[in-house]
Amino acid sequence: MRRSCLISSVLVSAALAAACSSSSPRGQFEDPAQAGAGGSESGGAPAGSIGGQQAADDPKADECQKMDIVFVVDNSGSMKEEQSNLVANFPKFVKVLDEFKTKSGAKIDYRLAVTTTGRDVSYKMAVPGFGEIPQSEKGENGAFRNGCGMTRRWVEKSDPGAVAEFTCLAQAGTGGPSIEMPLYALKLAFNDRMADGTNTGFLRPDALLGTVILTDEDDCSREDNDFTIQNDVCATMPNVKPVAEYAAMLDAAAKGPGRWATAVIAGEKACKSAFGDAADAKRLRDFVTLAGKNGTFSSICNGDLTPALEKALATFDAACKNFPPVR
């Protein structure tokens, strides 16, 4: 959410436009054997390459052989360059997953899905000199994106067109709601959209649940409507839900603590980069902290998503190799 962008969208006649993004570089993954992808600014996984265990290792009871990964992509008006950079990196991301090996040397069986940060919401925005401007926005409400020639709402390892399908799904556009709620989107995805059948069949009880959040704003997850926004500082906004509620929700969805991992790519602080401006993502940093060693945070202002996606995979790798039993 950019306050200047919101104002410009409702007061075009008053010429209150704001520039929300600029050009961005496009990086590519290093060779998996050379990628020092471990660690993070906030917790994270130990250093090491994906699939570093030898095939001769004995099978371990605490390893997983499946990953179900959901990308939550900000599709508000300021995210064009970030999405382009993400799309550019997807082929190598999938390639690394294809080469991933468990402790016992088995290839990982993965699923990939994409949803967005928006939900149906109505509110008023307080604009000095103009009063409260009514807004009504439509989001995907946690539904996994489909189309792209797919017969289901996620990509599987065995799909012959996995890379093309995944790349297509990630192009979420920039017409989504201006209030980003990635944590609530996950709750909707794993609760409401499972209950109504939209996302049913994606989650497997023996798979690590991985989530990747990409946004240039903080999390403003709230579950009410018809509220008034004074500013876009999510951490001080009334009625936002505690991030601990969403961590507990993922514990339940994954069948226990330690059976899910998360990677957040957002503003480590208020910053500027080739992507444009990013807000201080305080709530999302707090959320990563709750994930402990299964969480990693990367700054979107680094200007290239390659290292951040490497760290995401390294974190998922470590979590999968230390997979606790169902509780």
Confidence of residue 61 (pLDDT cuts 50, 70, 90): low
Tokens of 249: 């929700």
Q: Is residue 19 part of a domain?
A: no
CATH number, position 265: 3.40.50.410
Rounded to whole angstroms, what are the CA distances from 250 to 20, 153, 243, 311? 32, 20, 11, 20
Confidence of residue 182 (pLDDT cuts 50, 70, 90): very high
Q: Is residue 239 part of a domain?
A: yes
166 alpha-carbon distance from chain centroid:
14
Identify the CA nearest to 312 among candidates 106, 73, 116, 50.
Answer: 50
Tokens of 28: 């590519």
Model-level pTM greater than 0.75? Answer: yes
- What domain range includes position 93? 38-320
| pLDDT tens digit sequence for 213-261 | 999 899 999 999 999 998 878 988 889 999 999 999 999 999 999 999 9
Identify the CA nearest to 281 among candidates 294, 262, 260.
Answer: 262
3-state helix, strand, coil in the chain (%, to 5): 30, 20, 50
| pLDDT tens digit sequence for 71-90 | 999 998 878 888 888 888 87
Q: Is residue 302 part of a domain?
A: yes
DSSP readout, 161-210?
A: THHHHHHHHH---S-S-SS--HHHHHHIIIIIHHHTSSSTT---TTSEEE
Q: Is residue 11 part of a domain?
A: no
Q: Is residue 4 part of a domain?
A: no
Q: Is residue 29 part of a domain?
A: no
Q: Is residue 126 part of a domain?
A: yes
Q: What is the tally of structural domains in the chain? A: 1
Can you tell me the mean pLDDT for 288-302?
Answer: 95
| pLDDT tens digit sequence for 136-145 | 999 999 999 9
